[in-house]
Amino acid sequence: MAKLLDEYWSIGPVGIPSRLVLAPMAGVSVQAFRRQGRRFGAGLVCTEMVSSAGLRHRNKRSSEYLRIASDEHPLAVQIFGSDPALMAEAGRMVESAGADLVDLNFGCPVKKVTRSGSGAALLEQLELATRIVASVTEAVSIPVTVKMRSGIEPGSRACLELGPLLAEAGASALTLHPRSARQMYGGRADHSLTAELAARAGVPVLASGDVTNHADAVGLLELGAAAVMIGRAAQGNPWRLREILSGSSYEPSHAEVVAELVHFMRGATRELGERRAGGLLKKFYGWYLGHGRFPKPFKQQLIGCATVAGAERLLLETVPGARERLEQLENEPIGASETALELPISLYGGG
């Protein structure tokens, strides 16, 4: 029986209401982004990667707090590191904070991460990589998953050897972004590797990379993927998630775009504070207002606003029709319970 994008599936005991997963992205996957993704159809959402060493040391410079709200579940918290004991300790902290899954980053290509032996550096360290998975799996009762790339060098097929070993070590699911670490985000993702891994791994394999439409997603399910992970396509464009799920194109009105953006701005500001949110939101302004929706000078005017409140004022003055939709969004019930996660936000790039 063919898999459907909008059908229920599971990773271990964790039920997931659709086969669309919102990717962990550094500097993007804040709580406001994750909550929005769930509203628009993502069955599973993920935090950006968090340092296992940072979790232990609680360094004030690198530590900020993420929160889990009940409307985010199911949620995966992604951690990175190269010390099995530290990763196990971090996994226990993630579980105690209320996450549904602990995801291990074996794919980040950024030098700050790989030079410490973490991220994509583990793709060719089979013994260490399997020890990390075994250590975390033994330390927690929630499922452990791993996100990885195809290998370090272009043309590498390291994932096909490593993936089954990680499943044997206890990983409940694997996500493959089939680009090499050296490729970063260049070229095309080679999803023939995804199909091979799905046939070999013995656990669900999630497909990540270059999924931008319904046909892409359905094609990956037909290749054997259990689910598809959406990353850059959803940045400032949550409507894309619904398009991918339904196969029907949809162009939001200016009022809808502004209402969603302002709602996101308010959520990010509550979460991060005015100063941090102001820095984060500048890239989101371009993402939301792009796609030919608003003229470039208006985007630049918005980016030039000194405060988040000033940017909100400009948006609502320009598109006053957004106020009604915004009021609806603000009055929608959210999760009744929130759990503080004392997790340092990653300073590094995503995998």
The answer to whether 76 touches 99, Cβ cutoff 8 Å, is: yes
Structural contact between residues 94 and 77, judged by C-beta atoms closer than 8 angstroms = yes
| E strands in 166-263 | 173-180, 205-208, 227-230
In angstroms, the CA 103 to CA 294 distance is: 37
Asked whether 230 and 244 are in contact (CB, 8 A), the reply is: yes
Beta strands in 140-275 (DSSP E): 144-151, 173-180, 205-208, 227-230
Three-class SS of residue 182?
A: coil
For residue 209, give both structure tokens: 């990379």
Q: How far is CA 308 from the centre of its chain?
A: 24
Burial grade of 346 (CB within 10 A; 0-12, 13-18, 19 or more): buried
Q: How many H-runs (helices) and E-runs (strands) does the chain carry?
A: 14, 13
64 with 345: CB under 8 angstroms? yes
As a whole number of angstroms, the distance between CA 100 and CA 75 comes to: 5
Strands 338-341 and 66-69 turn out to be: antiparallel
**Residue 108 appears among annotated catalytic residues:** yes
CA distance 184 to 180: 7
DSSP 345: P
The active-site residue, picked from 46, 108, 159, 305, is 108
Residue with the two structure tokens 């272009």: 154
Contact 284, 251 (CB under 8 A): no
Residues noted as catalytic: 108
